[in-house]
Structure 1
Amino acid sequence: MTTDRFAPPVPSAAAGTDSRTAAAPGHATPYRMTVTTRQSHADVVALADQCLAAWLKHEGYDEPPPAPTPPPDSDQSAGARHRLADRVLLDRDSGPLPADPPGSPGGRYTRRRLRTPAPHGTHQLTLTIASEPGAPSWVRLEAEHQSAPGVRTPGRVPVPELVATLLPLLDASDAGAEVRLLPRIITAAEVDIVIDELCDPARRLPTVIASVPADLDPQVWAEQVLHPLLRNVAGLAVGYVLAPEARVLFNTALEFHTVYGGAVRTYLPEVDPASRRDAGRHLVLPRHRIESEPRRAAALLAREPRRLADLAPLPGPLARVPALRVRLVEPRPRDPQLDELVGELSVSRQAGADELQRVRISLHRSRRREFHLRTENEVQSTALRRVSSQLRALNSRLCPPGQPAPDPASLEEGPGSPASFAELLGRIGEFPLLTFTGDAKETQALDASTTGSGWVRLTWDGLTALQEYATVAVHGAAGGDFKQWCEHAPLGGSHFPPRKAVRGESQTVCSHSKMRRERMFAVPSGVDPSGRAFMGAHLRIGGGRTAPRLHYLDDCSGSGRIYVGYIGLHLTNTLTN
């Protein structure tokens, strides 16, 4: 075992990249856990070293010697490298944190970095503890896969085994919420506490809340379904399971952000309980997806917490931790030129880490600004739609002279567009000339997408335009089909983009037996004796090969209705598998 103390930085070939770099395209998505603890800095370091030593021993590596404890008032960083086996390196350093603002009481940091061989590269585990007087200690655990030159390793770095042993010992938290390995079942008495946590502006981690099917025991559902589902977000999210009585109170309080029927919902930071539009930001994973595709569901659930953990700015104390300073293990003659090069590299790496933090802060602010602008735009759009609705109602209900004028209160528009596809299906009865004959599960599955809020809004706009078209088409006054209606929408009417209204499928699709069969949807026997009809006309909901489609049959000239046979992901065509 070799040890070097108070060492200068190493060239990148020996030390690798700094642990604060972001994941590069084509490389495995890193794991980054950031939590706080009320335990003292010394206690957290002792727990971390104990867990790390136990893991090394279990893996058959040499156990490192105890780390020296620097004096509390020391103003020098202490660094040491230990070679535990071939290609197994443990770097340890600690030192003071730069004061912020200058002149304020400083803090301390301690860091451990372990590098072990892995298929097609190196696995790197970095644990950083940063503390300031009178404040909780910050703990950041990062796991990365550094690929060998020329090798691309997409996917996700697994949750480190160290998380399972260290997290329960830390009493970790995010703002006021406990961060546990497994979700906790909450009762009705705790619902208000959970809602306060969701709305806490200091919250950094997403909160995953699971509902329980009405016929199942919460404990059984948690152990058999939720624990495997949430294994990939350990340390990256706060988890709760709603007991039946808690679910009722929770959904009553958060009418726009409900979760029920065995679904699991991920609540991102900055929940706005009073906003119907805000509900679209928070991913819903339905029960049928969880049960039919458990591995796929677990991957979908982990995607957003991983992304947030990778891109979120570092908290102040962690951001002020200097770049790791160690030197080559092998003894070498002193070389002034190499020492100068190593010093320049240290400055460069620190500048890179600082620049990455600035980019993360800028990105975070841009997203907050985008969110607030989007919310403001949606409020204005809702007001505009209300005025347009009132104008349409006035135009259709103008009375001849001598007749009483309509009550203005009766012209008020109802609730705005739905926030989810599940809500959309529940409100489709608001379109009296449209009949949905499709599979509700195909439509509700779209709620599992993070882009679903835009899809819901566009689908609702399409249904609104179809209803307005049908209102005049049943009287033969539409002047053409629905696409022509969109191209020449009347003043004050709903404007669905004409380029997204498609009259029919291509000849290839229509003549291909499998593709044509996919587009045969249910209709009343009065429309087709077989009970099914080909619905080639459709609306494009979003873009891309897998973006949703709404297929419909225009029977306004016959039964006087439009039948919507399908709302779901893009069906098979010549461009899809």
Structure 2
Amino acid sequence: MTRPTSSDQSDPPAARYRMVVTSGHGHTDTAALADQRLRGWLKQEGYDEPPAAPAPPVAGGAAPPEAARHRIGDRASLDLDAGPLRGGTGRYLRRRVRQPAPHGVRQTTLTVATPSGGPTWVRLEAEHLPNGPGVRSSGRVPVPGLARDLLPLLDASDGPAAVRDRPAVVGPRAVDRLIDELCDPDRRLPIVVASVPADLDRDAWLADAVRPAVANLTGLAVLYVLDHAARPAFNLALEYHPVYGGAVRTYLPGLDPAARGDGVHHPVMSRRLLEDDPRRAAAILAREPRRLAADTPLPDVLADVPVLRTLPLPPAPPRPGSPAAGQDARGARTDQEARDAQAAESAEAAEQSAREEQAGADELQRIRRQLQHAERLERSLLAEADDQYEALRHARAQVRVLTRRLVSAAGPAAADPAEVAGEARREEDANPATFAELVARLGEFPSLVFTGDVKEALALDERNAGPGWARLAWDGLLALQDYADAAARGRAHGDFKQWCEHTPPDCHPFPPRKAVRGESHTVSTNAKWKKERMLPVPHAVDPSGRAFMGAHLRIGGGGTAPRLHYLDDCSGTGRIYIGYIGLHLTNTRTN
């Protein structure tokens, strides 16, 4: 029979559930509560009552780990071990249950670990282990009922934030505490904050929309709902990261409330999606916390828990009347000697396997730390780049104002810095700050024709509450219009990317690196992905009513990575057709 293999490095986060919290109790009490709840859960599952667990060593003791393995049902087992942490600076207790599942095994592991003089940590992991390396895990591993039972018993927390199985209501007096939790530099879990529509009762909205939407987040996030009175103060404190109108926002660790560009990294879900498709809303809300739980490095104390050395299961007792039940003493001794020799051989192989598994676990922890550092650096640089781009836009607006004044020989007033800056700021403020405004003003571009789905563009407002994406898209439209005007007069001298690289001083610029001529060969030759980019055009451009729009503008960055796809037909109809403004279409990274 093929042994089930760990999915820790190969399967998507959906195939694994991982909860890591601190307990409000000491090691002994936490271990007792965990064992009590685990036994109750096994009884609910219909398994045999497990035997007494090995007692953990005293704090600071150097006793070797104690381990045992038991059958608790047909093809179901319970592993128990306890002992000192690696390095001897604390202690741990662990329980692992294996149950039969389609195409593999369902494995649930509960670990309690406490460093000397530190808080007690609890890790609960549930995963589907496929039978063999060539088999993928099937489906999403749901939130274990054990997690919902443990959280209130443990008084679980993530730093100063309480981790509950349902949202806590935040009133005006609790806003400062919530802000402190959001800005805690050491927090590990996302904080999900729901707002209440101004026209609805809080408790009704909480019961009908919020609780179903966060049902998959138990143990994966800290959950709050702002009442009507708390929302204004909260949004005033988080100017660049607000939530309102019945939306739900996921605040990831590393929040920078002073950075305008940081808002894009904390996704927003609209009231419309919560009401129209609750099941899809719940799945989307759980996606990023699941990924974060899988990718975040473990706390040091949990990383110091040694890997579990799997012991052989005790043999099933012989059935009455079977040859084994009736064999004589000599035969029994012979069989016992054979079993002892086999056990010794198995123990040696298990020890070697454990050493290799421990080395793999340590390497995975190191990679997770590197990934976390790289993601934080990327977010910081992207936020900094957004702030610098805002400053660059203002400087370029001043250059355009000055150029116009000089051309019109405006006289001494042309050089007044305060007046120039004020006019430039007024010009910038006139630009749309949302995609709803942008779509409403598409008629201002005589050479640009939008043929796409307005809903895709409007959905971007739900993912980013700041004006950065909309303003960058507007800059792209302004630059495309200037390019189309120049192309009509025969003065463009190349395609739009070349225009961006050599933009005349009196025209609107667009970052050349964000102007892409076409898709990669992989995308262009993939039938499904290419079909997504076959976007509407007038029949005068293509009789089929659709054309491939590989050229696009990069609007923003990060996982959502919005795009504006267009077709340059200046040499034909004299127009540029914009077939799509929305989230990144499928490619090798998004698939």
Question: How would you bin the TM-score normalised by the shorter chain?
Answer: 0.7 to 0.9
What's the counterpart of residue 542 of structure 2? none
Give the conservation status (yes or no) of the 8 Å contact 2:397–2:428: no
Q: Is structure 2 residue 184 aligned with structure 1 residue 200? A: yes
Who is 1:217 aligned against?
201
Q: Counterparts in 2 of 1:374-453, with a 5 A limit?
A: 374-398=382-406, 400=409, 403-412=412-421, 413-414=424-425, 423-426=434-437, 433-434=444-445, 441-447=455-461
Question: Of the candidates 526, 540, 552, which is equivalent to residue 540 of structure 1?
Answer: 552
Q: Aligned-pair distance for 1:258?
A: 1.0
Structure 1 residues 207 and 64: alpha-carbon distance in aligned structure 2, compared to 1, 3 A threshold? same
Match of 1:510 in 2: none
* Residues 250, 266 of structure 2: 8 Å contact kept: yes
User: By how many angstroms is 1:312 displaced?
Assistant: 0.4
Q: What's the offset of the Cα at 1:276? A: 1.2
Question: How far apart in 2 are the matches of 1:415 and 1:329?
Answer: 76
**Does 1:29 pair with 2:44?**
no
**Secondary structure, counterpart of 1:79 in structure 2:** strand
1:495 aligns with 2:501: no
1:438-476 CA distance string (max 9 Å, x none): 986542313556999996565243134246558x67997
The change in CA–CA distance for 1:91 and 1:318 in structure 2 (over 3 A counts) is same
Q: Between Structure 1 and Structure 2, how many residues are aligned?
A: 523
Residue 65 of structure 1, aligned match among 51, 64, 71: 51
Is the Cα–Cα contact under 8 Å of residues 56 and 93 in structure 2 kept in the other structure? Answer: no
Quote the residue 1:305 is aligned against: 289
TM-score by length of 2: 0.77
Q: Secondary structure at the match of 1:164?
A: helix
The alpha carbon displacement at 1:169 in A equals: 1.0
1:88 equivalent in structure 2 = 76
Moved more, 284-293 or 422-431: 422-431
Matches of 1:166 and 1:206, distance apart in 2: 19
Q: 1:448 to 1:147 in 2, by over 3 A?
A: farther
Q: TM-score, normalised by structure 1?
A: 0.78
**AA partner of residue 401 (structure 2):** A
Q: Specify whether residues 59 and 386 from structure 1 end up closer, same or farther in structure 2 by C-alpha distance, changes over 3 A only.
A: same
Q: C-alpha root-mean-square deviation of aligned residues, in Å?
A: 4.2
CA contact (8 A) 1:417 1:460 kept: no
Please list, as runs of the form range in 1=range in 2, the aligned pairs for 1:142-541 lying within 5 A after superposition: 142-149=125-132, 150-330=134-314, 332-335=339-342, 336-398=344-406, 400=409, 403-412=412-421, 413-414=424-425, 423-426=434-437, 433-434=444-445, 441-447=455-461, 456=470, 458-466=472-480, 468=482, 483=496, 486=500, 489-491=503-505, 493-495=508-510, 499=516, 540-541=552-553
Whole-angstrom CA distance in 1 between matches of 2:503 and 2:394: 17
- Change in CA separation of 1:447 and 1:136 when aligned onto 2, cut-off 3 Å: farther
Residues in 2 aligned to 1:109 and 1:339: alpha-carbon distance in whole angstroms: 22
Alpha carbons of structure 1 residues 496 and 316: separation in structure 2 relative to 1, 3 Å? closer
The verdict on how the C-alpha distance between 1:190 and 1:571 changes in structure 2, with shifts beyond 3 A counting, is closer
Q: 1:226 to 1:390 in 2, by over 3 A?
A: same
1:48 is displaced (CA, Å) by 1.1
Provide the identity percentage: 48
User: Higher mean Cα deviation, 404-413 or 254-263?
Assistant: 404-413
* Equivalent position of 1:41 in the other structure: 27
Residues 411-437 of structure 1 show CA distances to partners (whole Å, capped at 9, x for unaligned) of 33549999xx97343478999945999
Structure 1 distance, partners of 2:157, 2:186, is 12
Q: Distance in 2 between matches of 1:232 and 1:280?
A: 23
Ranges in structure 2 where 5+ consecutive residues have no aligned partner: 316-338, 520-532, 539-544, 587-591
Tell me, in whole angstroms, the C-alpha distance in 2 between the residues paired with 1:284 and 1:489: 35
1:156: Cα distance to partner?
2.0
**Distance in 2 (alpha carbons) for counterparts of 1:87 and 1:238:** 36
Find the aligned partners of 1:256 and 1:461 in 2 and give their Cα distance. 21
Residues 164 and 219 of structure 2 are in contact (CA less than 8 Å); yes or no, is this contact kept in structure 1? yes
Cα offset, 1:501, TM superposition: 9.3
Deviations along 1:528-571, one digit per CA (max 9) or x if unpaired, are: xxxxxx99898734599x9644679999xxxxx99989744699
Amino acid at match of 2:96: R
- 262-271 or 443-452, larger mean C-alpha shift: 443-452
| Cα offset, 1:68, TM superposition | 3.4
1:465 alignment partner AA: A
Query: C-alpha deviations, 1:259-315, integer Å up to 9, x for none?
Result: 111111111111111111000001111111222222222111111000000000000
- 1:52 match: secondary structure: helix
> Aligned pair in 2 of structure 1 residues 434, 186: CA closer, same or farther (>3 Å)?
farther
Aligned position for 1:120: 103
Task: State the Cα distance separating 1:363 from its structure 2 match.
Answer: 1.2
Task: Give unmatched runs, 5+ long, in structure 1.
Answer: 1-11, 101-105, 503-514, 521-533, 556-560, 573-577
Cα distance in 2 between the residues matched to 1:154 and 1:451: 35
User: Retained in 2: the 8 A contact 1:168–1:180?
Assistant: yes
Which shows bigger deviation, 221-230 or 342-351?
342-351
CA distance, structure 1, for counterparts of residue 467 and residue 69 of structure 2: 50
